[in-house]
Amino acid sequence: MTTEKAKAFAALHVKGQPLVLYNIWDAGSAMAVAAAGAPALATGSWSVAAAHGYADGEAIPLDLVETIVARIALTTDLPLSVDFESGYATDPDTVAQNVRRMLKAGAIGINFEDGKPDGTGLYPIERQTACIAAIRAMADSEGVPFFINARTDFFLNERDSTRHKDLLGDAMARARAYAAAGANGFFVPGLADDDLIGEVCAAVSLPVNIMAMGSTPPIPRLAELGVARISYGPGAYRTAMAGITAAAKALYETEAEQST
């Protein structure tokens, strides 16, 4: 069943017909998104951490992440990808074993990022490719075509979008290296310019993943540009929490008015 789910998930990544993932954070949000007709599920690390009282950046314990992933996997038959940040370790072998825990819990893929969890920049390309290769070898040993969505944080870390064009060369180099190491997708959160997104999609052999943000082109335009996957990151969690806050505020304001 795991192998079939992994194959089905990979098949959803089609250039120009993007897979849209409204990121989840627990079993309840997974059931809600599944009920809305989603073809697959994906967690967002920021949302998972926030929902359980932690900051992003691998602050939430790995054991708890494993429990959350297992609970989500038990609530739905949809393919599940886990936002696994930078692997909860620095060395490739430990990273691969940590990913194995996600696979055993029910995940058929991960996001794996090159941004350091402490926010001090990016891991060297050599570390990332070694980790991707180790994850691929581990998954192969389990007989699962595990989907490794390799993420680069060049554009997310550079808040000045006018400088994003200057980062394309380094980003492309990472895309090529990650693909050669065994990655299945290339994730460029923070990139929002039409022309630059089009350049990445045209130059990169892997399916390209864009994060939907305020300045990101709409889904039809991203499809035209050749994007194969669109994710919402913490957006879904923030929208849900804002809705709860608004509903609760209305309730308490009404109660206060009635008591006066």
The structural domains of the chain, ordered by start, are 2-259 (3.20.20.60)
Q: Which of 151, 148, 10, 182 minimizes the C-alpha distance to 79?
A: 10
pLDDT over 80 (residue 257): no
pLDDT at 258: 80
Give the single-character DSSP code of 18: P
Banded pLDDT at 42 (limits 50, 70, 90) = very high
Mean pLDDT of 171-189: 98
Query: pLDDT per residue over 216-253, tens digit each?
Result: 999 999 999 999 999 999 999 999 999 999 999 999 99
- Distance between CA atoms of residues 150 and 112, nearest Å: 5
Q: Are 102 and 142 in contact, with CB atoms under 8 Å apart?
A: no
Burial bucket for residue 81 (CB in 10 Å: 0-12, 13-18, 19+): buried
pLDDT at 185: 98
Query: pLDDT per residue over 66-93, tens digit each?
Result: 999 999 999 999 999 999 999 999 999 9
pLDDT at 19: 98
Mean pLDDT of 139-162: 97
Percent of the chain exceeding pLDDT 90 equals: 97
pLDDT at 260: 67
pLDDT over 90 (residue 255): no
Inter-CA distances, 37 with 3, 30, 97, 106, 183, Å: 22, 11, 33, 20, 27
Q: Which two tokens stand for residue 226?
A: 């050749």
pLDDT over 80 (residue 174): yes
The kind and range of the H/E element at 112 are strand 109-113
